[in-house]
Chains A and B, each alone.
Chain A
Amino acid sequence: MRVANWFTPVIALARIAWLRTILYLFVILDMHAFVRDTRDKGEHPGLYEPLLLARLLDLPKPSVANTTVLYVVLIVACLLGATNYFPRVAGWIVAPAFTWWVLIGMSDGKVDHDHLALVIALWVLPTVKAGSRGIASYGDQTRSEAAGWAIRCIQICVIATYFLSAVAKLRSAGWALTWPGSAVLTWAIVRRPHPVGEWLLHYPWVLHVMQWVGIIGEFCSPVILWLKGRWQLFGALFFVGFHAANTAILLIHFLPTVVCWLAFAPLERVVPWYRSRRAARSAASARSASAAGSDGDAREAEDQTEHGRQAEQQAGA
């Protein structure tokens, strides 16, 4: 039972509401900035080579008609889902539609590995029943196991992206640890020339240190699932730094994974924090306005602080 409960922590619905807005808007960005050639593939399906999932589901070959419909449906559903009105209906449209979008985008002989957490996030978000709608949902402190499960699934996929890439490094060498001492970063930089990277080519030992730090970090990444509070934050910052370094050296950003790190952030605290700050400020200005002070405002500020404390107690889950 304890194991089962690990998969379903209680987390405030507000975190889901924030993630819906952020991730659905991110999908729109993704369609234009990252997996952005799906409609081109509809126009020229010459190099189309369907992936396993597309073959299993017998998905039609991309065409101008179906990729255009897919595009419009995704934009509309993402915008609707991002408002947190009808988020589940919108979410159940976005999940299969974006999966298909990415499947087409990656059906040309090259598969990127930065979309696992985002795609799974889109499939788990609509499983959570929303308590309140629209703006009110961002402050909804109702804690839910369904929300916790969705969050946990996203967290697992974020971590799996790192841990499993360490596994892939062992596997490609015939299950041996040769990757960190190899010339892989030199190879990558030569193939993606870029000033910072080319400068580093003169210092292969720096690249080897980076490879060791990278693979050790990837192997240890599952620990982050069990860390709490600021230690978990340090873990997240380590990997955000890891991506910043990759972007500087190789122009590989992994943003679709980076945005999913927000599943670890106590986003449900944003509204209570903002409210208590506003209340404290109005109480302070009321106090300075009249020497006698307004009891009512001060009491309200105290109430808000109490709210903030409640929210804090469920953070770190």
Chain B
Amino acid sequence: MVTQSQAPDVVRVGRVGKTVRVLVAVAGIGLLINGSVRASDDAWPFGPMSQYAMSVPDDARIDYTRVSAVTDAGTTVDVPLNIEGAGVARAEIEARAGEIVKDPSLLQQVADGWARKHPDQPKYVKLELIRDTTQLVKGKVEGPPTSQVLATWEVRR
């Protein structure tokens, strides 16, 4: 049986230290609740945990935004929208789709990013922002997606 004297030491915090710690924890919980109840992602790290939080109806149209490129080798390719590919993430393109439609020159950085990261590969000469739409019927995918070109950009050299 372990007696108290043999037990490892216990280091306690002082009254002030404890009060401050409890208050900080309670304030943090308050900020988190506030974020979830009324704030937006802007309040990170105290924003709402809203990833995949929306209720998608059974007859939803599911949009998927991508960038297609014509290269100087004459091929048409899907631009890899990630850091290693064109240096821009798909989420960034999706979040800025409206702006890109208004100002297609924003696509220039996709071509620049690709050229910089892959100097030995065919360059992009023309970029298209495309939206693929999949239709749900009673919660199930109905047929292949339909595509719509939202913006076109002739790449500047």
Contact = CB atoms under 8 A, between A and B. Distances in A.
Given A143-B9, A173-B55, A161 B44 contact: no
Contacts of B29: 156, 160
A36 B89 CA distance: 11
A172 B136 contact: no
Nearest to B2: A310
Interface string B1-22: 0100011111111000111011
Contacts of A184: 52, 54-56
A8 B36 contact: no
A120 interface: yes
A179 B10 CA distance: 47
A201 B141 contact: yes
Interface stretch (A68-76, A185-193, A279-287): A185-193
B30 to A, nearest CB: 12
A119 B32 CA distance: 14
A270 interface: no
Interface in A131-149: 131, 141-146, 149
Given A108-B95, A156-B25, A172-B54, A164 B36 contact: yes
Nearest to B58: A183
A12 interface: yes
Given A111-B44, A144-B11, A186 B51 contact: no
Interface string A175-187: 0001100111011
B121 interface: no
Contact of B141 (A4, A153, A182, A186): A186
B2 A309 contact: yes
B52 A8 contact: no
B10 A10 contact: yes
A112 B51 contact: yes
A306 to B, nearest CB: 7
A191 B54 contact: no
A13 to B, nearest CB: 8
B116 to A, nearest CB: 9
Interface in B24-55: 25, 28-29, 32-33, 35-37, 41-45, 47-55
B56 A109 contact: no
Given A10-B10, A178-B55, A310-B7, A172 B60 contact: no
Contacts of B57: 182-183
Contact of A7 (B9, B21, B51): B21
A205 to B, nearest CB: 9
A169 interface: yes
Interface residues of B, number: 58
Given A37-B89, A53-B44, A165 B64 contact: no
A164 B32 contact: yes
Interface stretch (A44-52, A232-240, A291-299): A44-52
Contacts of A3: 22
Given A40-B87, A47-B96, A113-B51, A160 B9 contact: no
- Interface-central residue, B42, B45, B113, by most chain A CB under 10 Å: B45
A270 B119 CA distance: 50
A209 to B, nearest CB: 13
A314 B11 CA distance: 14
Contacts of A120: 28, 45
Interface string B78-113: 000001000111011001100000000010010001
Given A116-B45, A184-B54, A146 B8 contact: no
Interface string B115-153: 000000000000000000010100111000000000000
Given A52-B42, A171-B37, A149 B56 contact: no
Given A110-B89, A110-B91, A172-B54, A183 B60 contact: yes
A115 interface: yes
A22 interface: no
B139 A186 contact: yes
Interface of A: 3-4, 7-8, 10, 12, 36-37, 40, 44, 46-47, 51-53, 99, 103, 106, 108-113, 115-116, 119-120, 127, 131, 141-146, 149, 152-153, 156, 160-161, 164-165, 167-169, 171-173, 178-179, 182-184, 186-188, 190-191, 201, 204, 306, 309-310, 313-314
6 contacts: A44-B113, A112-B51, A149-B21, A169-B53, A182-B57, A186-B141
